[in-house]
Chains A and B, each alone.
Chain A
Amino acid sequence: MADIIIPVYVTINGTPFITGSVVVTWGIIVFLLVLSILTTRNMKMVPGVLQLFMELILAGVHWMVDSTMGSHRRSFAPYLLALALYLLVANLTGLVAIRQPTADLNTTFALAGITFFLVQVNGFRAKKLGYIKSFFQPIPFMAPMNFISELALPISLSFRLFGNMLGSMIIMLMLYSFMPILVPIIGHGFFDVFAGVIQMFIFVMLTMTFITLAMD
């Protein structure tokens, strides 16, 4: 059974460097790579189950990009697909008794940091100086609040996912200690599958929305 405390394997000056979340993420990298190669190795005009499933996910990402960002910003689709697949698998690792990497603030903060980076870079690229000016709108006095709201973005994004997944994990641990037989199935269904998929969707959706807001 997974533990609340994250195992640490390598430290630098006493600070954790390689933790359980990192190792699980490596596993997920291998899993996604194998899945990708298996999917694209032998693609057919009439798709098999795996190809159909991945086509469905890709079509879903394309649909979300088209409807929230516009079809001219499909260049973001590969990252969003990677993010969606990673979050989906990471959130569902609880089903096989592995501690979710997304129940680790370092993981979620890293992902939210990438989103923050994408928002700032693309906002600046789309509007140049106008983007910097937008921080002093409507009046320059508002600048500090604009900066705070901008910084709140990665924090809210990361803590939302982290909190949801950690909470799910703790509730599942409690369920296992009180009623270890049959009852946890319902808990897994709700806290791992339902909450996991929903949180993945929210994270991807918000990433798209924030990038679009910064660019328009």
Chain B
Amino acid sequence: MEGGVITIDYSLLWQAFNMFIIYLLIRRYLYKPLSNFIKGRQETIENNLNTAAQEKEEAEKLRQKYEQSLMSAKQEAREILNNATKQSEEIISEGKREAKEQGEQIIEKAKKELELEKEKVFKELKDEIAFISVRIAERIIETKIDAAAQRQLVDRYLKEVKKVS
């Protein structure tokens, strides 16, 4: 039994049915799983890219924050250093000033004391000299002179002593 070359027969129905079967099988076993897989992969890649971009952004923000804090820390350190320098300078100058003042005070005081001492010494000396000179005069002259003349004599002598000193 053999068919022709260009004939239409019942095998046409078989071929249409076969094509329907192929359609069902391809849809069930190839199209759906494969296209779902491709879609899923696309989503995964997109998600990964988005996450990566986000993370990069966050890292950039973090970096900027760190840089800023580093800068402010540097600034602070510089300020602290500046302050310390200024303070130390102030302390030094204050110290110098105080020392100078104290020194001047000491000198002043010493001068004053010296003056007082000098005056005291002069006074003592004056009395002593007066006494001694009277005694000497008494001894030398061996004569008594009246008190007023004696006083005059001592004063003149003292003036001479003052001139010398």
- What secondary structure prevails in chain A residues at the interface with B? helix
With A105-B7, A110-B12, A114-B19 already in contact, the answer to whether A11 and B1 are too (CB < 8 A) is yes
From A37, A58, A77, A110, B15 is in contact (CB under 8 Å) with: A110
Interchain CB contact under 8 A, B3 and A5: yes
A145 within 8 A of B: no
Report B-chain residues with C-beta under 8 Å of the C-beta of A82: 19, 22-23, 25-27, 31
> In the complex, which range does the number of interface residues on chain B fall in?
35 or more
CB under 8 Å from chain B, chain A span 12-34: 12, 15-19, 21-22, 25-26, 28-29, 32-33
With A54-B30, A113-B16 already in contact, the answer to whether A16 and B10 are too (CB < 8 A) is yes
Question: Could you tell me the distance between the alpha carbons of A62 and B34 in the complex, rounded to whole angstroms?
Answer: 12
From B1, B2, B25, A29 is in contact (CB under 8 Å) with: B25
With A55-B34, A55-B38, A105-B6 already in contact, the answer to whether A16 and B11 are too (CB < 8 A) is yes
Question: Could you tell me the distance between the alpha carbons of A26 and B11 in the complex, rounded to whole angstroms?
Answer: 12
Closest residue of chain B to A166, judged by CB? B5
CB under 8 Å from chain B, chain A span 82-128: 82-83, 85-86, 101, 104-107, 109-111, 113-114
Q: Tally of A-B residue pairs with Cβ under 8 A?
A: 141
B37 within 8 A of A: yes
Interchain CB contact under 8 A, A6 and B3: yes
Report B-chain residues with C-beta under 8 Å of the C-beta of A7: 2
Question: Could you tell me the distance between the alpha carbons of A81 and B23 in the complex, rounded to whole angstroms?
Answer: 8
Task: Give the A-binding residues of B (Cβ under 8 A).
Answer: 1-16, 18-23, 25-27, 29-35, 37-38, 41, 44
Given A15-B10, A105-B6, 17 extra CB contacts under 8 A:
A6-B5, A16-B9, A17-B9, A18-B14, A22-B11, A25-B14, A29-B21, A40-B33, A51-B34, A58-B34, A101-B15, A104-B11, A107-B11, A107-B12, A110-B16, A114-B19, A166-B5
Task: Give the B-binding residues of A (Cβ under 8 A).
Answer: 4-8, 11-12, 15-19, 21-22, 25-26, 28-29, 32-33, 35-37, 39-40, 43, 45, 51, 54-55, 58-59, 62, 77-79, 81-83, 85-86, 101, 104-107, 109-111, 113-114, 166
Q: 3 tightest A-B contacts by CB?
A: A36-B30, A82-B26, A110-B15
